[in-house]
A and B are shown apart, each in its own frame.
Chain A
Amino acid sequence: MVELIKEISEVNAISGNEHALREYIFKYVGKKDVSVDTMGNIIVFKKGTSKQDKKLMIVTHMDECGLIVTDITDDGFLKFECVGNVELRSLISKKVIIADKVNGVIGMKAIHLQKKEERETVKKAKELFIDIGAKDKKEAQKYVNKGDYISFNTKFSKTQDILKGKGLDRICVAPVLELIKTDPEYDTYFVFTAQKEVGMRGAMICASKINPDFAVILDSVESADMFGCKDNDIQTKLGNGVLIQYADKYSISDRELLSDVIKIANKNQIPYQQAGLIRGFSDAGEVITSYGGVKGVTLSVPVRYTHTPVQIVNRKDVQALFDLTKAILKGKHL
């Protein structure tokens, strides 16, 4: 699965521009029983092996946060805005790639040229710029257009169980691609959603179209296991297993489904962790309130430095999420 995660991490798929990852997913799953809707969500249908008349939906988003070109200055620098909730403080001097072809670096004034106050404050996106080495506006315009998406240019790497790369917010695309190979107990819709990072927009339309009985939402979650995160806050920890979520910013997991999932995890000895209220959000907020309501639960992989160009996860957590979701797919307990 690590190879799969590497490839997904290095495909650029910023919200609204998930085309490249969609192509990658098509190559992986083929075209049979696969559909794409107008928002660009991919829906893969697998017939259930049991005769029960229940529909299960597995949801994971395929988009990542990034930047978009808003203007080109007279001296050939690019101005940009964030797509999704990018951690601004992490941007300065990072390598980027514009429209998948032009290399650039997020620049700022040399430290020698900064006043004392400037050194101590955090820049806003408006004050930052991207340098592609163009000598003026005219030259820059040859390579870059307003509205081009800008991706972080981070190489994936692996050190034992620790995986590092960009776009690991949507790491669950990898386990879901593997999960599609299993024969589920129920009729199952595997959904790769678009535009989650800008407000669950893809999930909004696909859940009401499918109208499932149950939904399992797979996502990443902020890891809180470093100094500065006081011990009374969220307790997500890298390497402690899949996180079974009770509630996030926009959703509360179904209580019965939650206790079923915990039973399955215990029975199969899958490492898991629990947390009260997660500050971030997953597609669950739209999925569970769609149509006449959907019983849903969110499972997630802790990610350090989420929404930045360099993120870190533990392979074992992804494995635990895969094992738990597989046990749910194979079970008759829902």
Chain B
Amino acid sequence: MMELLKKLTQTDGVSGNEKNISNLIYEDAKKYCDEIKTDAMGNLIVHKKGGSKKVMISAHMDEIGIIVSFIDEKGFIRFSNIGGLYTKQLIGRRVRFQNGVVGVIGCEEEEFDKKAEISKLYIDIGAQNRDSAQKLVNIGDMGAFCGEFYQNGDTVVSKALDNRVGCYILLEVMRDIKTDNDLYFVFSSQEEVGLRGAKAATFDISPDYAIAVDVTDTGDCPNAPHNSVKLGGGAAIKVMDRSVLCDASVRSLMIEVAKENNIPYQLEIMADGGTDAGAMHLSRGGVKTGGISVPTRHIHSPSEMVNEKDIKNCISLLKAVLEKL
């Protein structure tokens, strides 16, 4: 059982509101680095000093959620999305606000059947009226989806595995990596709303190489769109996603390293969705960028699913790549 991963997934940190998750990571990461700081965007930047070659490894620590836009007279809360949500899958979900208050998403049934829009949904915190609701929740408050951590054998299910599993991998790698390279482990903010944290951090660090560690879609569910990535099929080496075409030399280095060390790998081409790699490779005069991803089913749901073996393979691969770069 991965206790650290459990703690990481169950600590909320919706985009723009990453303080709690950042603090949790800070407490662990500070033991293994030379320098650690938070920048103005809320990125947590962990520096392990080394030689002249600067490598930035980024895993975003924010998660999708909601923001309160209006509270009606009866105390029902209207909201907008933070990050990509599947509107049709929201009904019945639990939302946890920062003060611990939990609400349930309901819908205006007839209206929602006609057109599934977020404006036809509301959060019910059981308040009697606007005044009593406002004692607990206010406009601008953000909420994260609830989804408990569960593990059975290699199978891990939880909310926010996107991308706390990436944060977990960075922490595991940082612990005992031995390399001459100058490493910046970045736990980035606001990825889910458009790679905003990574954009700022990359400019500041100005790395020679960048690697994004994130989750990726699989194609192994019934009638899924064509995608050769499988749960349990090994670490995914990113070729492209909607935000980036990975640098060919970084990609071939990753494949070479995987083969040398007998680390199971698969190649990732993700048609939908981007990663921090998208922001990193375009910073300043351009940065040679690659990505290592954890195959994940049911992304952006409260029950994202990953495989522990894949996680371990990602850790081994990232470590070996950082040593070889």
Which residues from chain A sit less than 8 Å from chain B, CB to CB? 208, 213, 230-235, 246-247, 250-255, 258, 274-277, 288-295
Contact = CB atoms under 8 A, between A and B. Distances in A.
Given A231-B72, A247-B16, A213 B139 contact: no
B80 A213 contact: no
A294 B39 CA distance: 8
A276 B72 contact: no
B193 interface: yes
Interface in B31-80: 39-43, 67-70, 72, 78-80
Given A246-B140, A274-B138, A288-B196, 11 more contacts: A232-B119, A247-B67, A250-B196, A252-B82, A255-B17, A255-B19, A274-B140, A277-B81, A290-B203, A291-B203, A293-B41
B67 A291 contact: no
6 contacts: A232-B78, A246-B140, A253-B16, A289-B41, A290-B200, A292-B39
Given A247-B82, A289-B199, A277 B204 contact: no
A291 B201 CA distance: 7
For the complex of A and B, list the 9 residue pairs with the smallest distance between their C-beta atoms, beginning with the closest. Answer: A276-B69, A293-B41, A252-B16, A292-B204, A293-B200, A277-B80, A246-B140, A293-B40, A232-B78
Q: Determine which residue in B43, B190, B200, B201 has the highest number of CB atoms from chain A within 10 A of its CB, and name it.
A: B200
Contacts of A234: 69-70
Contacts of B39: 292-293
Main secondary structure of the interface of A (DSSP, over half): loop
Contacts, number: 96
Contact of B203 (A208, A231, A246, A277): A208
A290 B139 CA distance: 27
Interface of B: 15-17, 19, 39-43, 67-70, 72, 78-82, 119, 122, 138-140, 190, 193-194, 196-197, 199-201, 203-204
A295 B194 CA distance: 17
A292 B70 contact: no
Nearest to B38: A293
Nearest to B73: A231
Nearest to A274: B139
A276 B79 contact: yes
B139 A254 contact: no
User: Which of B16, B40, B119, B196 has most chain A Cβ within 10 Å?
Assistant: B40
Contacts of A291: 200, 203-204
B236 to A, nearest CB: 27
A246 B139 contact: yes
B119 to A, nearest CB: 6
B40 A233 contact: no
A199 B79 CA distance: 26
A81 to B, nearest CB: 27
Contacts of A250: 194, 196
B197 A235 contact: no
A276 B204 CA distance: 30
A38 B14 CA distance: 37
Contact of B119 (A213, A230, A275, A295): A230
B168 to A, nearest CB: 24
A277 B69 contact: yes
